């Protein structure tokens, strides 16, 4: 019997693990040892530094052992770090090559601190809690949290791996099978409370083990947050790549057109990936720019151009249909 009253989702399970270069990377912060920031390409590499009985290894295993395996994860450790010490350490690592944060410490105080910290960053924080009340603690759109009764389930950490190894925009976080995770134990009233707070858990629904939601602590959808960050990052990167490639971007109509061309390219890619809506094979975005003559002399002298603006419709996703109306006649 259905507990969510959503349509059936069928997840393809492959026995072969494919390594996929993910958007950004995952940083695992552990609080059991003092461990330098280290990047691991495979789970076997993690085993060289962490026993398979440790929380660090178990969390790393959940991340690596999904249908698509990330190209690597980074791990840093600060033994018995307080929440304030964790965020202070993260400040020193802010420019390292990582995007998604997970932590072996999922106490209320640490969840609260990391939620506040990530809200000011262009990163995301993902956590699985064993305390239902903690689902309502975070408030940031950048905090994606879920519940599972088992401390070593790490369902949200596995879900993060799935979301980052798939092309950003191509997948919603709901209806996903997280390999290695059993069904969470909670009552229907607890499930209703969890969903009302935009929390995620993992249950059997219509014969499938699957994640139950895709919203972050603020109510925003996780794939939308990822899509926004993907566009921002690639817009900045491709603009920079253009500046490096050419001898200079002239402050002329041709130079402005080259910037518009970069913006068009990034938004077109975003549409192909499923971030931006496509209707009748046409990506639904528009870009405007101002001519050189309309830019102030002050800005031209400072070599600044702020005349590009774009608008796009999100592709979004359908995660339910209520009601599906029909009529039977004799």
HEC profile for 96-137?
CCCCEEEECCCCHHHHHHHHHHHCCCCCEEEEEECCHHHHHC
Which H or E run includes 253?
helix 253-273
Domain boundaries, the chain: 18-219, 246-312
Calculate the CA dihedral of residues 64, 68, 70, 76 and round it to 10 degrees. Answer: -30
Helix (H, G, I), strand (E, B) or coil at 294: helix
Per-residue pLDDT of the chain (330 residues; tens, 9 = 90+): 455 554 333 323 333 444 445 577 999 999 999 999 999 999 999 999 999 999 999 999 999 999 999 999 999 999 989 999 999 999 999 999 999 999 999 999 999 999 999 999 999 999 999 999 999 999 999 999 999 999 999 999 999 999 999 999 999 999 999 999 999 999 999 999 999 999 999 999 999 999 999 999 999 999 999 999 999 999 999 999 999 999 999 999 999 999 999 999 999 999 999 999 999 999 999 999 999 999 999 999 999 999 999 999 999 999 999 888 999 999
Which residues touch 100 (CB under 8 Å, ≥6 apart)? 24, 25, 26, 27, 123, 124, 125, 126, 160, 164
CATH 3.40.50.1100 fits 18-219, yes or no: no
Contact 274/315 with Cβ under 8 angstroms?
Answer: yes
């Amino acid at each position: 019997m259905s507990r969510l009253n959503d349509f059936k989702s069928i997840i393809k399970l492959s026995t072969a693990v494919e390594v996929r270069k993910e958007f950004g990377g995952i940083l695992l912060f552990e609080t059991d040892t003092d461990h330098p920031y280290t990047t691991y390409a495979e789970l076997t590499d993690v085993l060289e530094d962490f026993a398979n009985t440790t929380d660090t290894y178990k969390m790393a295993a959940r991340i690596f052992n999904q249908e698509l395996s990330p190209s690597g994860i980074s791990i840093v450790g600060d033994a018995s770090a307080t929440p304030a010490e964790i965020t202070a350490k993260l400040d020193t690592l802010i420019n390292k090559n990582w995007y998604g944060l997970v932590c072996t410490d999922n106490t209320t105080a640490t969840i609260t601190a990391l939620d506040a910290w990530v809200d000011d960053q262009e990163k995301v924080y993902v956590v699985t809690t064993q305390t239902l009340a903690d689902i309502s603690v975070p408030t940031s759109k950048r905090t994606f949290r879920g519940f599972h009764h088992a401390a070593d389930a790490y369902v949200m950490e596995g879900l993060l791996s799935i979301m980052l190894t798939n092309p950003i925009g191509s997948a919603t976080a709901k209806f996903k099978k997280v390999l290695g995770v059993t069904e969470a134990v909670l009552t229907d009233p607890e499930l209703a409370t969890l969903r009302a707070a935009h929390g995620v858990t993992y249950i059997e629904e219509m014969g499938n083990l699957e994640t139950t939601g895709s919203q972050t602590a603020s109510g925003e959808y996780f794939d939308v947050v990822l899509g926004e960050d993907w566009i921002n990052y690639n817009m900045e990167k491709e603009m920079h790549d253009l500046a490096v490639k050419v001898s200079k971007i002239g402050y002329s109509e041709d130079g402005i057109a080259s910037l518009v061309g970069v913006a068009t390219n990034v938004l077109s890619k975003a549409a192909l990936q499923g971030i931006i809506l496509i209707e009748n094979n046409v990506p639904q975005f528009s870009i405007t720019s101002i001519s050189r003559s309309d830019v102030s002399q002050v800005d031209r002298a400072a070599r600044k151009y702020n005349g590009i603006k774009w608008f796009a419709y999100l592709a979004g996703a359908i995660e339910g249909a209520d009601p599906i109306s029909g009529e039977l006649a004799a």
